[in-house]
Each structure stands twice: as C-alpha cells, then as structure tokens.
Structure 1
Amino acid sequence: MSLKYQKLFDPVKIGALEVKNRFAMAPMGPLGLSDTEGGFNQRGIEYYTARARGGTGLIITGVTFVDNEVEEHGMPSVPCSTHNPLHFIRTAREMTERIHAYDAKVFLQVSGGFGRVTIPTNLGEFPPVAPSPIQHRWLDKTCRELTIPEIKSIVKKFGDGAANAKRAGFDGVQIHAVHEGYLIDQFAISFFNNRTDEYGGSLENRLRFAREIVEEIKARCGNDFPVTLRYSPKSFIKDWREGALPGEEFEEKGRDIPEGIEAAKLLAAYGYDALDIDVGSYDAWWWSHPPMYQEKGLYIPYAKTIKEVVAVPIICAGRMDNPDLALRAVNDGACDMVSLGRPLLADENLVNKVRAGKVAAIRPCLSCQEGCMGRIQEFSALNCAVNPAACREKDAALYPVLKSKKVVIVGGGVAGCEAARVLALRGHKPVIYEKTNRLGGNLIPGGMPDFKEDDHALVAWYEHTLKELGVEVNLNTEVNAKKLAETAADAVIIATGSKPKIFCFGDDSKVFAAADVLLGKVDPGQNVVIVGGGLVGCELAIWLAKHKKNVTLVEIQECLLAVNGPLCHANSEMLEKLVPYSGVNVLTSTKVVKTTDKGIMISNSGTEKEIPADSVVLAVGYSAENALYNEVKYDYPDIHLIGDARNVANIMYAIWDAYEVASHL
C-alpha cells in the first residue's frame, strides 16, 4: 500500500456497518442495466461488480424505483425492487454475492420519484407529479399535486423495496433524495411546496415525507440496517429554470445554507445513518452534475459545514478524483468518505491504483458528460467517453490474439493512442507515427484553458500507458504513401484526425485559427473577435476573457452552441451562461462580411457594422484529414480509418472508434 494515502483506506462505520475503506461509488446508473421485469441484467451485474473488484469499499447502485403506480416510469427503465420482487431478489442476489466476494459493501439507491424534473425521454406519456401544481422543469406542463393517500402509498413502497433489498443481500439503502430537486426534495423546499396540509408549511412538515420513509424502513428492516440520504444543503435556484453560476450574487429561491443546516440536523435525528452531500438542483444542474467548468472538489465546503453540525458520517462527492484532494478533505474533517461517480466510470480500478500508489495509471474523467449524463438524458443509457467498456464490461472484454500482427498507426491523437493501447493489450505490435513533437492531437490546444486540464491529463495517461506497454512511438515523423509502404505493416490504421476550417475574409493577415491562439503560436492582441459560437469558440472566449482580453463572439445561428454543442445540458447550459457572465460580447444571428483596416465588418438582419479588432479568430469547425487514407485505401487488405479522420465528432467517438476496431483486429 502507498503509505501516503493510507488514511483513505481506514475502515469507516455507517451505523453498525463497517466499510473497508473511505471510498464509495457515487450513484451512476443504472439506466440500461435493468431487464423488463425490474431486475438487474448481466450488464448491470458486471458493471457494479467491476467497481468492487477495483477496490471501492461501498458501491451505491444509482437510482432504482420503489413506486411504479403513482409516478409511472415504464418498464424497462431502471431496476424496481417492488415490481416483481422475487425476480428482483434473484438477479440482485447474484450481484451482491459477487460484490461481497471483494469485501465490498453495496447499498441500493431507492427513489421516491422525479416529480417535476422527470427527463422527457423517461416520462413518455405519463403525467408528471409534484407536491403542488407547479411548472415542470423541462416541459411546458403543470404537474399534478400528489394526494395524501399517494404519499402514504409511496412511503409503504419504500418499506417493501428496502425489505426486498435486504433479502437480496444489500447491506443498506440510500434514499434518493432530499437533493437536486427530486420529488422528496420538492416537498422539502418551500419554493416548490405550496401545500397547507401536514406535508407543507413548516420545515418539519416539509421534511415529513423524508421522515416517514426512514421510519418505515427502520420498522421493516431493523435499526441495524443502514439508511443513508443523498442531501443538498443549498439549491442555487434564482427562479424557475434559472440557476446561479459560481461567484454570482443572487437571492436563493430554493434551500439556502441556514435552512440546509437545520434540515440536516432534523434528518440525522429522524434516523438517517449518513448524509451524502452535494449541492444544486435541476434548475441549476451544473452544480449537481458538475462539468469541467466547475472547480474540483466543489462540494467540500458544504460537506464540512454539515459535518460540523451532525454526528452521522458525511460522504462527499463532486469531482473528487484527485487522491491528494480527497485525502485533504478527510484530513480537514470535511467528510468521512469520498464518493466517486464519473471517475469510476472512467477507471473501475481507480481505488486499487491509489492504494498501490500508481496514480499516473488512473485514466482521468474529463467531466465532459458525453457518455454518462448526456446519453442518460438523450437515450436513457449510461456509458463513458474515455472508457468504451463501461457498462458493457463483459461484452467489450479484450481477448488475446492467436497471431500477433505489426499494426502501423498513422496519427498520435486520441484515436491513434487508444488503438495502440488496445492492440498492445491484446498482443499485437502497434507502431505509432505522429508528425508533431508529441502525442495528443487536438487535445493539446483543446486542453489549454485551465478548466480543460483533464484533456491534458488524458494525454499524459496515454503517454504513461503506452510506455508501460512498450508501444513504439515515432514523433516528428510524417507518413506518406511511400513511407507507409516501407513499414511492412500487416495492418494499417489511419487516425490522422482533423484540421481547423479556414475561411477567407479579404485581408487575412490578422485572421487566425483558434488552435494557434490556444497554443500561443500567435498573439491575438487586446481586442479579439471570435467567429463561431460552438464549443471551441465559447471555451476560447471564456479563456481569453480570463486573460483580460476584450472579446466579441460572433455566431451566425440564433443562439450559442446551436451546432455540435455538448450533449449534456448541464454542460451546455452552464457554458452558454458563462460566456456573457465572463464579460464576452455575444452577437448571434450575425455573420462576418469582411476584414477591414480597423477590424471586421459584420452583418445582422441586413445592417452592417464595423467592429474594431486586433485579430479575428476562427472557431468554425474542423475538416477530416483523410487524404492519406484515400490515396492508399486499396493498397492494403487490412486498413481502417478511425476518429476524426473518418467523421469529425468529439473525443468520445474517437476513442470508441479506436476501441471497436482495435479490439477486433
């Protein structure tokens, strides 16, 4: 064991239960991991077992339902412990027994429902419910108010579901949740709860739903059966569907810290054995699901605030993947356990690697949310951008080859690196040729802003991993058809990536590509006009504004991020708000006409205007760099085009392309 991190591996107790270390798997899933009868499918069993095998002390499953009558969800959606109890117990028992083999513990996260925040793709035709007739988060609908008999029915279902979970071998449950604005949280927050009966009004009344749940479970399962709660002491709600940004001054419409403290005291007194802390709401869900634009460890101050007023253990999530940061949080008394969600999607062996002191071998999470929250939002499926095997561990398992091949990979971007990694693990002999002086491709300029540090961390991980695997890497080596023929390759992978699109606006002496500005190859001057309000343009604008530049962002579409924006709305909504909040002048529905001596001429609704500019920076997309492939594609019987060279997309699809091809070569 690495003595540096030894404290993170001290046992910790939740109620009467002892967990072997201070690492918990934060709830991630289980969309796509259930079967039609509400049990866990084999993908789900493999997914959670892999994280236990990877050293995590406590596995928390992610949301499952106990009620499917008051708030219908449609089957299959996620596991439901009350839909077909015997089937649930049978499938879950297989999973819990396998998890226990690694001396890990496992809690079933059970939900009272989503209420006004039900994601439309999961809602179907079912009417949304809420404590009161309030506005739905996503749809222009008014939610139906729950009746008292319906509340009582849900409470009883919690007891049924927890009893089934206990029989299935779960070591405890986590209640979902007085956090993020889910149904039970909607009852707890006066902004959403306008009731005048015993479930509305005072804080105690608004928490009655949460109190009855823990009392019901304890009555059914015993006081020694741990019941924990996902809890947010602050909501960051400015108004309906309006969330606050970091550092922004605003009037809190949701739960603020003073009430958050009082609520925590009450919840602990009601019998909850631990509080799992985060902050935010779906109206400000870049707090609850923090993108890369949020700081690492952003929940630590809030966890410490609650830790100081309750006696139960505190679990802290929120970009806690840096083990030094996690250790500081425990040493400072901010929390008792560190919760990792997306980092354990990216690397299921993270905890074991920390224990062994092999931190450089941890595959980093990018907080891009493309494979996880984005795909949950759009497709009700959980995956990971940097780990193609996440949630399909058995189906995507790598198998050794019978005959090793020399595979030449042209291009050392993320697709080329992932292909080389997978090929080497299977026993092939990959050789990378990269024309620049380092690996990484477009991740190098893309990772220049401080909030994109994990892009560079991913490059460093590939460099470390390929060195460990003994992969031959040839830098500063451009490959043409003749050079490729001389390599005597058994198979060829072309991963030459993409190049920025460049447009002519007349005098282009001060027109630059975004990548050249990010890399410091050119000085953009003080007054910068960025053309293109997509992901690259918006991130560049914020970065330049942080460096005290006067930035104008020109976008031809009606809004920013209209084309190829982040899949997850937590990322896109935060980024769209951060741009003007950072002091950037945003001009939408506007096109560039030409450059001028003083700057550029723009046109909006037929009206032209000149804007002073020292530089015009283009962030208008990328074009596939596939010339070499088109030249040699008939010269090799086993040749593949992957990543941006095949289709310009994002990091996730470059990695997934490479994994798919290399795992079957």
Structure 2
Amino acid sequence: MPHRHLLSPITLRAIHLPNRMIMGSMHLGFEGLPDAWPRLAAFYAERARGGIGLIVTGGVAPNEQGNFGPDGTVLTSEAELPGHQLITQAVHREGGRIIMQILHCGRYSRMKDIVAPSAIRAPINSATPRELTDAEIVQTVADYANCARLALLAGYDGVEVMASEGYLINEFLAPRTNKRTDRWGGDLHGRMRFLVEIVRAVRQALGEAKMMSVRLSMVDLVEDGLSADEVVAVAQAIEIEGCDLINSGIGWHEARVPTIAHTVPQGVWSWATARVKAAVKIPVAASNRIKTPDLAESLIAEGQCDLVSMARPLLADPAFAAKVARGEASTINACIGCNQGCLDPIFSGGAATCLVNPRAGREGEFMARPPCETKRIAVVGGGPAGLACALEAAKRGHAVTLFDAAPQLGGQFILAQTVPGKEEYAATPAYYAQALTQAGVTLRLGRAAAASDLTGFERIVLATGIRPRKLDLPGADHPKVVGYEDILSGAKRAGARVAIMGAGGIGFDVALTLVGEDHEADFNAQWGIDRAFTHRGALAEPSAPPPPKRAITMLQRKPDRPGASLGKTTGWIHKAHLQRHHVDMLAGVTYRRIDDAGLHVTLNGEDRLIEADTIVVCIGQEPRRDLADELKALGRDVQLIGGARDASKLDALAAFEEGTRLGLAL
C-alpha cells in the first residue's frame, strides 16, 4: 500500500490517531477579532473533516504577559472556555482530535510589560523585556498547569507545550538569553529547570488519559543556542517527566537562516529530528518543509521520525490526509512555500489565508451554492485568476470553456517556476490542469481566443493578464535591451555585465535567475549550518560563493531600499542571497539613455554610466485588454479579473482570490 507508514495508526497516551499526519500549530492573525471563535471552529473542523490525524491549535498564552499581543489568545479562567468549546465540539463532530498549544511568547511578545529570563532585547522586537523574579517564574509554572487544566475542561484531547522558536521556554534553555545565576540559570540543569517543572506540572494537571506534546527546538540556529548534547539531554528529561510526543521546532524567529521558505530544500531538517529520535523511546515528529506525502512516508520509513507535522500544506489543502488515504495524493493542492498568504500577513499584523486556497481561514465567506440557472461560460486566460474562476464555476455546474494562448496553463506561474528556489510553483498549474479536467472544463489551449470564438457563450470572463510596460527612453530599441520574459523563459541569454531596470519582485526574480546559474548545491554550506552539530546552535561559517559569472546591477527610481516591497518573510532571504553574489543595488536613480556603452543614469545628482552588455527591463506591467475592447465594440458584456482588470500590482494572491469569488458568484 502506498504511504503505508504514513497511514499507520498510533496511540499517544489514550488518544488514538488514525495516521501519522499532524497539523502543526500556526497563529492565524484573527484570534482577537469579534468573530474569531466561529471562524476558528470552521477552520479546524474543515481540517478534521479532511482526515488529519491530529490538530495542534495556534498558541494560547497561560497568562497576559505571555500573549502575542492584541490579536492573541489567553486561557486563564473558566469564563474563557465557551470559545474554545466551539472549536473542540466542531472538531470532534467531524471525528477529529485536537490539542491546544500553550505558548508564552517571552521577549517576542508585543504586550507592554514583556518578560524574559534575562533583560536582553530580541533583535526582532523594539522593547526590552524585564527579568522575571523567582516568585514570578514559580507562578508562571502554575499558570501553565492551570491553562492545561482549563484546556481539558474546554474539551481538548491534550496540550502541546511550546518550547521552541525562541519563545520563553526556549529563552530559558539557551545561554544566549539566560544569563541568570540562580536556580533557573547557569548550567543546563538550571536552564532546563523551567521546562522540566512545567512538564511535570502539566502532566499532573492532565492526568493519565490525555496526551502531552512538547515542541522542542531540535536546532536553534542562533549563536549561544543549545549544543547537540544539550538538545538530547532536554528531550530525555521531558520524556522522564511524562511527555508523550516530542514535536520538532527548527530555528528561532530571529535566526538569520531560512527555515521554511520555498528556497529551503524539502526535508532538509530531518537530520536534527533523527538525532533526538535515536535518543528517546517516545514518538518524535518531524516538521518544517515537509509538504508531500512521499517525503513524509520516506522519513518515517527510514526511521528518522515517527510522525510528520505540517502546517502550511493544510492551509493549501485541508483534505490532504483524506486524499492520501484514498490513494489520490496526486490531486493534492500543494503548498508552494511562498508565504504570501500566510506568514507575510501574520508578521505584518494581518490574518493568514493561502495563496493557492483563498478559503483558508475564511471558510464561511466562500460557500459554493448551485446556481439558479446553469450557463455556458467562457473564461479567457489560464493564469491564477482564470484558473480559479473556471474551476469554481464548473464545480457549481456551469458549462465552462477555458481559453489560453499558451500551450500550457499557469500564466505568470510558467515564468515563476523557472526562478531558482521557485520550482515548486509548477505544482499549482499541474493541480489545476487535473482539477479542471475532473470538473468537466473544456480546455482550448495553444491559440489566442478571438471574438468569433466566444459566440454562443452567455457569460464571458476575461483573465487575459498583463503585458510588460514598454520602456520610454532614448535607446530603448537598442539590441542589448531585453524584456524580463526573455530572461525568465530562457529565450535570450544575458551577457557578462547586466543592468536590471527595476528592483521589485520581477527584478529580483531576474537577478535570482541570473545568479542561480552560479549553482550552489549545498544549502547547509551556503547558510553556515553545521550538520555535525559541533558548535552551539549548529552554526558554522558559511562557505564562500563561487566566483560570479556576471556583474549585475539592479536599479530603481524609488529612493526606497531595493526589495522593500518583497514579502516580509522571504524578501530578506533573496536580498542576502544576491548580496552574497555581489549584486549591486542602486535606488533613487533617474534613467537618461541607453547606448553602446550601457545605461546612463543620474544618481545623487551625478551622471553615471552602468556599463552593460544586457539591459533587462522590469518597469511594471499593463493590463492586456485588446480582446475586451473588441468584444465591447461588438456589444458583448465582459467581466475583467486579475491583471486584465488591474495590472498596477502583479499579485497572485489577489488574483486567485478574485477568480475564486467570481467563480462562486456566476
């Protein structure tokens, strides 16, 4: 049987799991809103319906000081139980199992009076924490136990103690943040006392029937983090105290090593989990960049872990586990690791959803209802907006025909998947190609749709996308000037000296593509990760990059820092990678002309020549509306969506949502 290890049951304490798939904890960003509890209940219920073995909630603070901030959740009294009971009842009605994560944010909190083991400010927080007193630490341990007791009253099947990612417990464990000389600091025995006391108290509060997971940092990826032997010693200590499952955490939020973005190889952290699994007798779950059933199966089969924890893949497809169980893994709507719909909004104060599944976190908004009357609908354009619209309309019963001039579906995703690190973007067009066929959509690919092709359709939706904005500059027609599509598609090769006009998302994609030709095969060496774990935090000196094949200069008119518009959780990775390869980035330039010498600009009031053999134009897009104008002249009603409606911001997140909403409304 395919995926037989992944689908094998397991019992944790008295909680029976039908498979080895866990939905890992994630903060959703709407926990503080008035409608939070019904939304959370609907969100988790859909994942339970989708067959996931175990759900772990987003972090719930055991006291006010540990809260995320205004958008966080605390559980300190029975008065707060009704909302949690909505969640547990909804999950249990679907036959699911759910545990509540208890998380004290420590110095990462956005509350006013933040606390930590020592008064050391986190690099990602502007506030300096106050050092906890001995009495406050003892009270915090009691708060964890009280929170666990209340979780049982709320109907949860157990709790997870969050001891990873640089939050309070992790701060006590690491010399980096624990400078105490009392019984809660010093050697490892003192530094792990806080966690051990919490696990002991929580175990007592839970009793013998309910399970306890501890999310433990397998590798901190920060200076003065835990050593290899210390990670194992902590794992063994919490096993003795009654932990039933060790869930993997990888890296602190302040670490300058990427851990879950699409540039991180899948399964790259399994070695850290395997070290702990080999040292304990209780089950251990692997996490971070495990997104396919095949990878999850192989990790368990090879003995590197007992279960797998996945968060974002369950945003992308809540029926992930059920599809694996039915032998339909090929139909999973795969997470592409972009972070555009989930982590980027969360770290910018917004709410999480998913680029490839706009329903995520908003299940009540996207209700599919049969239309009053089925119609023949033409959707022109096979990019994100057109794909989403066509699929939703067809699933509701409409007769849909999808036209696209390209021989394959995907639109801008066809280019995106050529960028090094974005190869996973290919999964989305592949998913839609299969889903559209199953929904009965007729595909007309490889030829641009003409107005005459659209006669007989009762509704016409134009998702014809964008075209690159033309360069209006003396010398714009010079042979060395190329468009970004030429480079990303491989139609043209760049010379030894390259000037990229534009430092937005597409400009960075071009630079990453050109730099990507200087291939760096070893992710660990590139980012200075020591798999031998000979140093604290498993950090080493990054390897030297290969000599660059090109001199690349990125330029933008805006005076802002280049890359400022990139995703909050991925932009820094791209910038660091380009800086490593000596890509020069200039802001606040005025373009003057192009000639045989290169690109002439003005920078800081001075004229400057950017010597270039190739000049790549990435200065924005315009809506592609030729067909719309033709149809309107014939008196036909058309509806524009995606880039065809508004190309001012090329945004796949908005395009998928817009297409989905229209497909549900037609």
Output the TM-score relative to the length of structure 2. 0.89
Kindly state the Cα deviation for residue 86 of structure 1 after the two structures are TM-superposed: 4.4
Aligned equivalent of 1:379, options 328, 349, 362: 349
Kindly state the Cα deviation for residue 260 of structure 1 after the two structures are TM-superposed: 2.5
* Kept after mapping to 2: 8 A contact 1:230/1:277: yes
Kindly state the Cα deviation for residue 55 of structure 1 after the two structures are TM-superposed: 1.0
Distance 1:97 1:420, change over 3 A: same
* Kept after mapping to 2: 8 A contact 1:407/1:430: yes
Tell me the amino acid that sits aligned with residue 293 of structure 1: T
- Larger mean Cα displacement after TM superposition, 409-418 or 268-277: 268-277
Question: CA offsets per residue over residues 230-267 of structure 1, 9 Å max, x none?
Answer: 12232222xxxxxxxxxxxxxx3333434333333333
Kindly state the Cα deviation for residue 609 of structure 1 after the two structures are TM-superposed: 4.1
Q: Does 1:63 align with 2:37?
A: no
Kindly state the Cα deviation for residue 272 of structure 1 after the two structures are TM-superposed: 2.3
Question: CA offsets per residue over residues 459-478 of structure 1, 9 Å max, x none?
Answer: 11111111111111212332
Correspondence for 1:552: 552
1:100-499 matches, within 5 Å, as 100-112=92-104, 114-118=105-109, 123=110, 126-176=112-162, 178-237=163-222, 252-284=223-255, 287-288=258-259, 290-480=260-450, 482-483=451-452, 486-499=454-467
Kindly state the Cα deviation for residue 223 of structure 1 after the two structures are TM-superposed: 3.9
Correspondence for 2:662: 661
SS in 2 for 1:9: coil
SS in 1 for 2:318: coil
Kindly state the Cα deviation for residue 182 of structure 1 after the two structures are TM-superposed: 1.0
Distance 1:327 1:65, change over 3 A: same
Whole-Å separation in 1 of the counterparts to 2:6 and 2:69? 40
Correspondence for 1:243: none
Tell me the amino acid that sits aligned with residue 543 of structure 1: T
Aligned equivalent of 2:85, options 74, 93, 98: 93
Distance 1:378 1:469, change over 3 A: same
Distance 1:659 1:347, change over 3 A: same
Tell me the amino acid that sits aligned with residue 255 of structure 1: L
* Kept after mapping to 2: 8 A contact 1:492/1:636: no
* Kept after mapping to 1: 8 A contact 2:466/2:622: yes
Kindly state the Cα deviation for residue 521 of structure 1 after the two structures are TM-superposed: 1.1
Correspondence for 1:242: none
Structure 1: segments with no counterpart, 5+ residues: 238-251
Whole-Å separation in 1 of the counterparts to 2:187 and 2:635? 74
* Kept after mapping to 2: 8 A contact 1:490/1:638: no
Whole-Å separation in 1 of the counterparts to 2:401 and 2:559? 46
Structure 2: segments with no counterpart, 5+ residues: 519-548
SS in 1 for 2:401: strand
* Kept after mapping to 2: 8 A contact 1:137/1:282: no
Whole-Å separation in 2 of the counterparts to 1:559 and 1:266? 50
Whole-Å separation in 1 of the counterparts to 2:590 and 2:417? 28
Whole-Å separation in 2 of the counterparts to 1:650 and 1:53? 31
Kindly state the Cα deviation for residue 16 of structure 1 after the two structures are TM-superposed: 4.3
SS in 1 for 2:391: helix
Correspondence for 2:619: 620
SS in 2 for 1:227: strand
Whole-Å separation in 1 of the counterparts to 2:207 and 2:609? 73
Whole-Å separation in 2 of the counterparts to 1:421 and 1:130? 50
Tell me the amino acid that sits aligned with residue 59 of structure 2: V
Whole-Å separation in 2 of the counterparts to 1:260 and 1:146? 24
- Larger mean Cα displacement after TM superposition, 353-362 or 278-287: 278-287
- Larger mean Cα displacement after TM superposition, 448-457 or 52-61: 448-457
Identity among equivalent positions (%) equals 29
Correspondence for 2:76: 82
Whole-Å separation in 1 of the counterparts to 2:179 and 2:62? 25
Question: CA offsets per residue over residues 439-478 of structure 1, 9 Å max, x none?
Answer: 2111111110241122211011111111111111212332
Whole-Å separation in 2 of the counterparts to 1:553 and 1:256? 41
* Kept after mapping to 2: 8 A contact 1:10/1:22: yes
Whole-Å separation in 2 of the counterparts to 1:278 and 1:129? 22
Whole-Å separation in 1 of the counterparts to 2:40 and 2:87? 8
Kindly state the Cα deviation for residue 150 of structure 1 after the two structures are TM-superposed: 2.3
Correspondence for 1:19: 17
Tell me the amino acid that sits aligned with residue 375 of structure 1: P
1:582-601 matches, within 5 Å, as 582-590=581-589, 592-601=591-600
Correspondence for 1:247: none
Question: CA offsets per residue over residues 315-334 of structure 1, 9 Å max, x none?
Answer: 11112111111111111111
Count of paired positions: 631
SS in 1 for 2:321: helix
Whole-Å separation in 1 of the counterparts to 2:308 and 2:121? 35
Whole-Å separation in 2 of the counterparts to 1:154 and 1:462? 49
Whole-Å separation in 1 of the counterparts to 2:230 and 2:467? 52
* Kept after mapping to 2: 8 A contact 1:552/1:587: no
Kindly state the Cα deviation for residue 589 of structure 1 after the two structures are TM-superposed: 4.4
* Kept after mapping to 2: 8 A contact 1:535/1:565: yes
Kindly state the Cα deviation for residue 633 of structure 1 after the two structures are TM-superposed: 5.0
